[in-house]
Structure 1
Amino acid sequence: MALTQKQWDERTALKRQKAGEEELRLRVRPGTKQALSELMAWAGIEEQGEAMTLMIHHLHAMGYPKCHPMLNPPRHGYEPSQIVAREFLNKSLLAIQNDPGNEIIEPN
């Protein structure tokens, strides 16, 4: 006798639970999707999940020193303009003046 859809789903869920399987979801923008598609084409992989699983395991196998630069996103420094810095200073000084007991000594 064939299994009903409900029985099939329950059986699959039980197998996944026993294996400790967990679903990961990922939302990506078009550029990331395009990069994944190209990587999959280069390797001849058709399933996105398979491609991501392989990448995770291969990166992990490389070890920390080799994979860290690839997983370290670029950081962008922020240097406020003089106008923004002056406005921030003025508002900070005003806030300090409104709080009695906090005095400020400005450099000459």
Structure 2
Amino acid sequence: MAMTARERSALAAAKREIYAEKELRHRVRPGIEKMLADLMAWHQVGEQNEAIQNLILNAHALGPEGSTDAMRTPRHEITVSKRVAEMLDAFVAPPEDD
């Protein structure tokens, strides 16, 4: 006889306890969600939790030095032109005494 929904839930809860599984929740903006979807499509991964778990396992396997690039927070690089730098210097520099 097939298990009821309640029995399946109880069995799943018991397995989670046995294996000390923890639920990780993470909110992301659309750009990050799109990047994850791209990764999943490129590698034919159907479940988000599987993709995230694979990313964690593979980054960890690289070790402390090897995973540095993967763990670095991307930052925008701001380049100030010479003209803008001169304008900023003139704006913030105190007047010189003659």
Structures share a fold, TM > 0.5?
yes
Distance (Å, rounded) in 2 between the aligned partners of 1:11 and 1:70: 37
Structure 1, unpaired ranges of 5+: 83-108
* 1:27 and 2:27 are equivalent in the alignment: yes
Within-5 A mapping of 1:64-83: 64-74=64-74, 82=92
Larger radius of gyration: 1
Deviations along 1:36-69, one digit per CA (max 9) or x if unpaired, are: 0111111111111110100100000011111112
Distance (Å, rounded) in 2 between the aligned partners of 1:75 and 1:2: 53
Task: Give the corresponding residue for 1:54.
Answer: 54
RMSD between superposed Cα atoms in Å: 2.1
Matched position secondary structure for 1:44: coil
How many percent identity over aligned positions?
40
Superposition misfits of 4+ residues, deviation over 4 angstroms: none
Structure 2, unpaired ranges of 5+: 77-90, 93-98
* 1:17 and 2:17 are equivalent in the alignment: yes
The higher-RCO structure (CA 8 Å, 6+ apart) is 2
Aligned residues: 79
Deviation for aligned residue 1:75: 6.1
Deviation for aligned residue 1:13: 0.2
